[in-house]
Amino acid sequence: MAKPTTSTPQDNAARAGSRPAVRAKSPTASSRPTAAEALARRGNGPSITTFFQESRAELRKVTWPTRQEAMNLTVAVVAMTVFIAAFLGIIDEVLTRIIQPLIS
């Protein structure tokens, strides 16, 4: 039978080559960062110009529909909207005529 060994969490983390676990905040600590923490983190992220450059690059990759495709899809959406509105209107009228005599 193998003899169980005891080790501390720090020993395990050091052997695995990873950083030690971060302590959990106490329940009374605020989950909202302080102003200093927010400002410190702000400098680490990408800038607004980087955001717009990357957005422009992504928009260049988009396959835009032709004018005819856009018109066809618009007509299809309008037609389905009218059809569903008419269907729901008919259902509403039928149910109204069934329920009205029961509650009067």
Domain coverage including residue 70: 36-103
**Within a domain: 24:** no
Which residue in this structure is represented by tokens 């988009």?
62
6-27 pLDDT, tens digit per residue, is: 655 555 555 555 555 556 555 5
* In contact, 49 and 37? CB cutoff 8 Å: no
What is the number of structural domains in the chain? 1
Question: Which pLDDT score is estimated for 20?
Answer: 58
pLDDT category at 41 given cuts 50, 70, 90 is low
**Within a domain: 84:** yes
**Within a domain: 52:** yes
Say how far apart CA 59 and CA 82 lie, in whole Å. Answer: 32
**Within a domain: 63:** yes
42-60 pLDDT, tens digit per residue, is: 666 678 899 999 999 999 9
Beta-strand (E) ranges in the chain? none
Say how far apart CA 98 and CA 103 lie, in whole Å. Answer: 10
- Give CB contacts under 8 A, 24+ apart, made by 41-45: none
